A and B are shown apart, each in its own frame.
Chain A
Amino acid sequence: MFKYSLLPLVSIFIFINHGLLAQKVNEFPKKTDPLYKKVEMFDRLMLGNHWNEGAIMQHVIFPPAGLEQPIIGSQADCLDPTSEMLAAYSHKYAITGDPKDRKIANDIFEAILKLEKVTGVDGLVARSFNRTNEPLWHEEVFWYHEWHQSSSMPGYRWLGDLSADKFTSIFYGVGTFWELCADDEYKKKAAGLLDRFIGRVVDNNFKLTDLDGKMTLWGNFCPNLPHQELNSLEMLAALKVTHHITGKERYNAAYHMLIDRYHYDDHQINSKILFPKEWRNVGDDYHAARSLYMIMRLETDPNLLNKYRMNLNRHWYDWKDIEFTWESNIWFLMVYKVLTGEDIFTELKKQGIKDMWGFERNTREFKIPQKDGSFKLVRSEEERTAAAMIRNYWFGRYYGIIDEKW
């Protein structure tokens, strides 16, 4: 039905906005292409189609459902692909030394700074932003209604209620950027951002608090409140990274206070829920893997390292048999190899890496809310993200897991 009835609408849109559509990257790799070529092409798609002033969109809906916006889509998890691309370009720069790669990493980092600036509060980081004065349609139907008009950056709207997993994206992405890519100027900027961001959490008794002063829905690392074991790990990792990068003793003191007084080191061991089996959650494993990767390379106390290794071993119990159905699964195994040195990549697993894929471009109907309360069905194209695949590739290349000829 829509195939024909929407044609005039699409034609009008192309006529008016051909400049926007001209920017759209449309070339996809073939499944049979070598890995390096697939990564190169998905990289072009991500930078061309998912770039939101340096922040990377997790989900893009193209016009006409994007209406007058060049890109639109779910934005609650944008810090995940943003940090993945920041880490990817940091690892890539560490290999190539190419200033163009460093420039892209700098631009992505600047977008994370903008996620802070748009809130108008030092250390309060938004989940995502859009340059618009008017609410966009997807604000009404995707995710919690936590959008705000920016007072510090007129003409922008931002999504609040940051969560523990996006907190992890920030210290992982910014920490990797500081470690491998940033020059002196950007090292200072990165340290400043983590100091304000993690400092604000520490000042609020280890809670992520929103603009309203309340703890966010997934922002609990507080020693006085019941919280997940995973959150204890994430908080310790964040403090370790921030102390390493800023050199400020307050973060080291907070790290040891949570361990000595509140036993976060013991609590974090059980981050992975193993039983009942149906409760195993690879989504949470992603945050654990990023935290363990950061903390285990910085911790030198053998007693604490043993406890983090116990955590990793509990994850490995599940990961050792995991199928490569999701790009992050592949990264778990890479992290395990980097942290333990164990040779775990069988030929089958290597083939799984070579077969990594980004996304397909799909077409579907979107139910777009109208101002009068009704809904309009619009058929449009959408893309998910390939950031995890690109990050995996450069991570694997950096650590010698992936051969450049693959």
Chain B
Amino acid sequence: MKSGLTLLTFFVHILYLTGQETPTPPEGMVYVPAGEFIMGSTYGDPDERPQQIASTKAYFIDKYEVSNTEFAKFDPTFKFPPEKKNNAAVVTWSKADAYAKWAGKRLPTEKEWEKAARGIDGRVFPWGDTYDNTYVVWDQKETRGTSIAKPASPYGCYDMAGGVWEWTSDWYKPYPGNEVPMEQYGETYKVMRGGSNFNNHSFIRTSQRYYVLPEKIHVYPVGIRCVKDID
């Protein structure tokens, strides 16, 4: 009797879940459902701690980083070499933010970015926990999505590890409960994520945080991946 009830409960749950409508993402975006996920790490830099259970609402996020061609539609003065039409655009934070608004989207929060990159299970990279050079695009000099293995994140995003760094909307601040002091915390630096694998492998980990002046990116290749709220 008890096992029959358990089975019934299970089927009701499945029917309930399958009955939920998954919103259709706009073109070039993927859907990330609401819910909790593992954020941060126990093994990375002090600013990734404490590892925590965080949650987000549901949202859409761009499948790829914004390309030079896409950015030039917003800013016709934006120059890039003709052979790099499909490469990721590298821009300052204010330009990234303006582009996102122009496109009817916005820049992701750190939480949204990290969840889209690693899913709910706390994995090191978007595809899992191991690394190989064939999994990543070699910084912005290569076309987006052209790594040999072409791994997708759990929700179907590409190049969230490597390619260019990606802007988030957040200032560089400590996670709640982090008591390791850093003079850079505050509202001076914005957080960029995802790494450019010109740098060490560790910088393309999903939980890696890096701070940079929003309008002075210097030689850091930082690009854009937007999110869109679900009405």
Contact = CB atoms under 8 A, between A and B. Distances in A.
Contacts, number: 55
Interface stretch (B17-25, B44-52, B71-79): B44-52
Interface in A214-243: 214-215, 217-220, 222, 224-228, 231
Given A222-B202, A226-B131, A227-B201, A214 B47 contact: yes
Given A225-B44, A273-B133, A145 B202 contact: no
Nearest to B201: A226
B180 interface: yes
Interface in B111-153: 124-125, 130-131, 133
B46 A213 contact: yes
A213 B46 CA distance: 8
Contact of A212 (B133, B184, B199): B184
A226 B124 contact: yes
Interface stretch (B8-16, B54-62, B101-109, B214-222): B214-222
B30 to A, nearest CB: 25
Nearest to A227: B201
Contact of A225 (B180, B202, B210): B202
A373 to B, nearest CB: 11
Contacts of B130: 226
A228 to B, nearest CB: 7
A143 interface: yes
A217 B183 contact: no
A220 B133 contact: no
B126 to A, nearest CB: 13
A227 B202 contact: yes
B182 interface: yes
Which among A213, A226, A227, A273 has the highest number of chain B CB atoms within 10 Å?
A226
Contacts of A220: 200-202
Interface in A82-134: none
A299 to B, nearest CB: 26
Contacts of B133: 273, 279
Nearest to A217: B199
Interface string B33-50: 000000000011111000
Contacts of B44: 225
Interface in B199-231: 199-203, 205, 210, 213, 216, 218-220
B182 A213 contact: yes
Contacts of B125: 226
A228 B201 contact: yes
A242 B200 CA distance: 24
Nearest to A146: B218
Contacts of A228: 200-201
Nearest to A225: B202
A144 interface: yes
Q: Which 9 A-B pairs have the closest CB atoms?
A: A226-B131, A217-B199, A220-B200, A224-B43, A145-B218, A225-B202, A220-B202, A226-B201, A214-B45
Given A212-B182, A220-B201, A273-B133, 18 more contacts: A140-B218, A143-B219, A145-B218, A213-B180, A214-B46, A214-B210, A215-B200, A218-B199, A218-B200, A220-B200, A222-B202, A225-B202, A226-B124, A226-B202, A227-B200, A227-B201, A228-B200, A231-B200
